[in-house]
Structure 1
Amino acid sequence: MAEKPAATAAPHSPPAASTAQEGQAKVKAGVVKMDDIARMAGVSKSTVSRALSGSPLVNEETRVRIQALVESHSYRVDTRAQGLRKGQTRTIAVVIPLLHEHDQPISDPFFLELLGHIADAVADHGYDLLLSKIGPGRASGMTDLVDTGRVDGLIAIGQSTAHLGLEQLAARNLPLVVWGAQLADQHYVTVGSDNRAGAERAVSHLIAQGRRRIVFLGQRSVPEMRLRHDGYVAALEAAGITPDPALDVPTRFASAAALTAMRSLLCGGASFDAVFACSDVIAISAIRALQDQGLTVPEDVAVVGYDDIQMAAFYNPALTTVRQDTATGGRLLVDLLFAQIAGRSARSVMLPTELVVRASSGTVSGTTPPAPR
Structure 2
Amino acid sequence: MMYRQFILSWNMDGLVTCGFVEGEISYLQERYKKPIVIIDDYDTDDLDNCINVRLEDKKAAYEMTKYVIGCGHRKIAFLADNNINLDHQRFLGYCQAMEEAGLSGSEDHFLKIRSGNRGEQDNLEELYEKSFAYTAVICASDYYASMLLNALQDKGRKIPDELSITGFDDVEYASLVRPALTTVRQDIQEKGRVAVDMLVKMLEGRPEEAETLVVLPTRMIIRDSVKKINYE
Report TM bin, short chain.
0.7 to 0.9
- Alpha-carbon separation, structure 1, partners of 2:121 and 2:168: 16
Who is 2:58 aligned against?
196
Matches within 5 A, 1:124-135: none
- Alpha-carbon separation, structure 2, partners of 1:247 and 1:277: 12
- Alpha-carbon separation, structure 2, partners of 1:243 and 1:233: 5
Who is 1:287 aligned against?
149
C-alpha change, 1:278 and 1:206, in structure 2 (3 Å) is same
Secondary structure (helix, strand or coil) at the match of 2:17 reads strand
Q: C-alpha offsets along residues 125-172 of structure 1, whole Å, 9 cap, x if unaligned?
A: xxxxxxxxxxxxx3x624x2343134332211124x2x3221233345
Does 2:10 align with 1:149? yes
Matches within 5 A, 1:1-373: 138=1, 141-142=3-4, 144-159=5-20, 161=21, 163-171=22-30, 172-183=32-43, 185-187=45-47, 188-252=50-114, 260-268=122-130, 270-345=132-207, 346=210, 347-363=212-228, 368-369=229-230
- Alpha-carbon separation, structure 1, partners of 2:187 and 2:195: 12
The Cα shift of 1:237 comes to 0.3
Secondary structure (helix, strand or coil) at the match of 1:192 reads strand
Secondary structure (helix, strand or coil) at the match of 2:96 reads helix
Secondary structure (helix, strand or coil) at the match of 2:225 reads helix
TM-score (norm 1): 0.55
- Alpha-carbon separation, structure 1, partners of 2:62 and 2:11: 42
The Cα shift of 1:225 comes to 0.4
- Alpha-carbon separation, structure 1, partners of 2:23 and 2:205: 24
Q: C-alpha offsets along residues 243-268 of structure 1, whole Å, 9 cap, x if unaligned?
A: 25442112346599776534212235
Find the structure with the greater CA-based Rg: 1
TM-score (norm 2): 0.86
Unaligned runs of at least 5 residues, structure 2: none
Q: C-alpha offsets along residues 16-50 of structure 1, whole Å, 9 cap, x if unaligned?
A: xxxxxxxxxxxxxxxxxxxxxxxxxxxxxxxxxxx
Counting matched residue pairs gives 226
Q: C-alpha offsets along residues 175-234 of structure 1, whole Å, 9 cap, x if unaligned?
A: 211111344753131111011001111111111111111121113443000100100100
The Cα shift of 1:287 comes to 0.5
Secondary structure (helix, strand or coil) at the match of 1:350 reads strand
C-alpha change, 1:246 and 1:289, in structure 2 (3 Å) is farther
- Alpha-carbon separation, structure 2, partners of 1:262 and 1:370: 27
C-alpha change, 1:213 and 1:244, in structure 2 (3 Å) is farther
- Alpha-carbon separation, structure 1, partners of 2:76 and 2:35: 41
- Alpha-carbon separation, structure 1, partners of 2:131 and 2:225: 22
C-alpha change, 1:256 and 1:212, in structure 2 (3 Å) is farther
The Cα shift of 1:273 comes to 0.6
Identity rate, percent = 28
- Alpha-carbon separation, structure 2, partners of 1:200 and 1:277: 12
C-alpha change, 1:319 and 1:182, in structure 2 (3 Å) is same
The Cα shift of 1:242 comes to 1.6
Unaligned runs of at least 5 residues, structure 1: 1-137
